[in-house]
C-alpha cells in the first residue's frame, strides 16, 4: 500500500509551484484530480496559442494525476466543483492575487461544505503584507528572497539562478505541510487552512548564505564558483562548454588526496603549499597545478579518480546526460512511460525511496481525460446527465472531440 493511499486531492494548480506540490503527493500515493479550464487547461500545457500537444514542461510536473475540465466561469461549472468538495481531503490552488475571490471558492466557502478539508493556498507573497497584491513567478520570488544577490561572480552583477527553486521548492514544502496536516486530521478529524509565500519558502534554501549576515547586519557576498582552489570548477578534456569537474576538498586529509589523485605527492612538501595559510596565498599557482592534470582527463575520469582518493567531486552533467547516467539507471531513478501523445518517454523519478510504499510513475493526463469517470464516481451522475452538462458547457468536451477526430482519420 502506498503511504498516502486514501488521500484525495482537488488540484486547482497551474504552472509549477502548485503542480510540484500535488505531483509529490501523487508520487506518495494520493489520488490527485486536476481541475482545469476547458480547451486550454493549465497554462503550463502551452495550449493558449491553439497547440494541441502538451509541452514537455507540463509532462514533467503532472505525473500520476487525473484531469477533469470544468468551466468555473459558468454557474453550473462552479456548482459541480463545490459538489465535489465533500469527497476530498485536500484542496490546493496557486492562483494569482484576486482570482480565488473572483471565483468565490475561498476557504470559508469550502469549509462550510467540508469542515475537515485541508485548504492550501500558495501565493507569491502571501495574502497579507505590503506585497500581497503583487503578481509573482519563480524568479521574482528568488530575487525577493535574496537568491540573485548571492549568484554570480564577486565583481559582477547579480545573476539569475538556474534551478526553479522558488516554484518547485515552495511546492515541495507545501507537500510536506499537507502530509503533516493530514496526519493531524486523522487524529482530530479537523481540517485547516495552509498558506505558503514563495518569497518566504525560498528563504529556507538561503539559510546557509544568510548565516553569513551576522544575524542580519551585513550582506552575503557573491563568490562565483566557490572559494579558492579547493572549492571550485576545473576544466577537463576535451574542452567542451560543460567539460568541468567540481571539487570540494574541505580538510587536510582531502588536500593529501588531491595531491595523490593528480600524481604530485611532492606538492605536500612544497613550501608554497605547506599549510593552509600558504595555500591560500598561492591559490592561483595551486589552481594551475590541478588544472594541468584535469585538462588531461575527461570529467568522468576526473570525478572517479578524485572520489577514489576521498575527495568530494562531481562531473558537470548536462541535463540530457541524466537520462543515461549509469548511477541513476542502476538505482532505478529513470522511468520509461508511455504518453498518449508523446509516445515512449523517459522521466526522472521521485528521490525518496520508501521500503513500504511504492508508486509507479505514470504519464501526465490528457486534458479532460478523466472528466466523465470522476464526475460519475464522485457525484453519482449517469452518462446522460454528464452529456447534458457537456452540452451546457459546464464541463469540457476535449476527449469527445479527440475521439471524433481519430475516428475521421
Print burial letters for 5-32: b (CB count within 10 Å at least 16), e (below 16). Answer: eebebbbbbbbbbbbbbbbbbbbbbbbb
Q: Do strands 8-12 and 90-93 pair parallel, antiparallel, or not at all (unpaired)? A: parallel
With contact defined as beta carbons under 8 Å apart, do 291 and 234 qualify?
yes
CA distance 122 to 18: 7
| Helical spans, DSSP H, in 62-106 | 75-84, 99-103
Residues 6+ positions from 141 with CB-CB distance below 8 Å: 124, 166, 167, 170, 198, 199, 201, 202
- Name the residue among 138, 120, 261, 281 with its Cα closest to residue 196: 120
Residues 6+ positions from 225 with CB-CB distance below 8 Å: 232, 233, 246
165-188 vs 17-27: helix crossing angle, rounded to 10: 50
CA distance 226 to 228: 6
CA distance 33 to 11: 6
Positions marked active-site:
167
Amino acid at each position: 500500500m502506498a503511504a498516502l493511499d486514501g488521500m484525495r486531492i482537488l488540484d486547482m494548480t497551474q504552472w509549477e509551484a502548485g503542480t510540484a506540490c500535488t505531483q509529490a503527493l501523487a508520487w506518495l500515493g494520493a489520488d490527485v484530480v486536476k481541475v482545469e479550464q476547458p480547451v486550454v487547461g493549465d497554462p503550463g500545457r502551452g495550449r493558449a496559442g491553439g497547440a494541441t500537444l502538451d509541452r514537455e514542461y507540463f509532462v514533467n510536473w503532472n505525473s500520476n494525476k487525473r484531469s477533469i475540465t470544468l468551466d468555473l466561469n459558468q454557474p453550473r461549472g462552479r456548482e459541480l466543483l463545490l459538489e465535489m468538495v465533500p469527497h476530498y481531503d485536500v484542496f490546493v490552488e496557486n492562483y494569482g492575487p484576486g482570482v480565488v475571490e473572483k471565483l468565490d471558492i475561498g476557504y470559508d466557502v469550502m469549509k462550510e461544505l467540508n469542515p475537515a478539508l485541508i485548504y492550501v493556498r500558495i501565493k507569491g507573497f502571501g495574502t497579507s503584507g505590503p506585497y500581497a497584491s503583487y503578481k509573482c513567478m519563480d524568479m521574482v520570488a528568488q530575487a525577493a528572497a535574496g537568491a540573485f544577490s548571492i549568484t554570480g561572480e564577486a565583481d559582477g552583477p547579480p545573476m539569475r539562478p538556474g534551478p526553479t527553486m522558488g516554484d518547485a521548492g515552495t511546492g515541495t514544502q507545501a507537500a510536506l505541510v499537507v502530509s503533516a496536516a493530514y496526519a493531524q486530521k486523522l487524529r482530530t478529524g479537523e481540517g485547516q487552512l495552509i498558506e505558503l509565500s514563495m518569497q518566504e519558502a525560498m528563504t529556507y534554501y538561503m539559510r546557509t548564505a544568510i548565516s553569513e549576515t551576522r544575524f542580519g547586519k551585513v550582506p552575503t557576498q557573491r563568490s562565483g564558483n566557490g572559494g579558492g582552489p579547493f572549492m571550485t570548477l576545473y576544466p577537463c578534456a576535451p574542452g567542451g562548454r560543460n567539460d568541468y569537474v567540481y571539487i570540494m576538498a574541505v580538510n587536510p586529509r582531502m588536500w593529501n588526496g588531491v595531491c595523490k589523485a593528480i600524481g604530485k605527492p611532492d606538492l605536500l612538501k612544497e613550501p608554497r603549499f605547506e599549510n593552509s595559510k600558504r595555500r591560500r596565498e598561492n591559490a592561483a599557482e595551486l589552481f594551475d597545478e590541478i588544472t594541468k592534470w584535469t585538462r588531461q582527463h575527461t570529467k568522468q575520469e576526473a570525478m572517479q579518480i578524485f572520489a577514489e582518493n576521498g575527495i568530494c567531486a562531481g562531473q558537470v552533467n548536462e541535463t540530457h546526460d541524466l537520462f543515461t547516467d549509469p548511477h541513476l539507471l542502476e538505482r532505478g531513478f529513470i522511468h520509461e512511460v508511455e504518453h498518449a501523445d508523446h509516445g515512449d518517454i523517459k522521466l526522472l523519478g521521485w528521490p525518496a525511496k520508501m521500503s513500504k510504499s511504492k508508486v509507479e510513475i505514470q504519464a501526465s493526463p490528457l486534458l479532460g481525460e478523466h472528466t466523465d469517470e470522476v464526475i460519475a464516481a464522485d457525484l453519482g451522475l449517469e452518462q446522460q446527465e454528464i452529456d447534458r452538462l457537456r452540452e451546457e458547457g459546464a464541463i469540457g468536451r476535449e476527449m469527445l472531440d479527440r475521439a471524433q477526430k481519430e475516428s475521421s482519420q
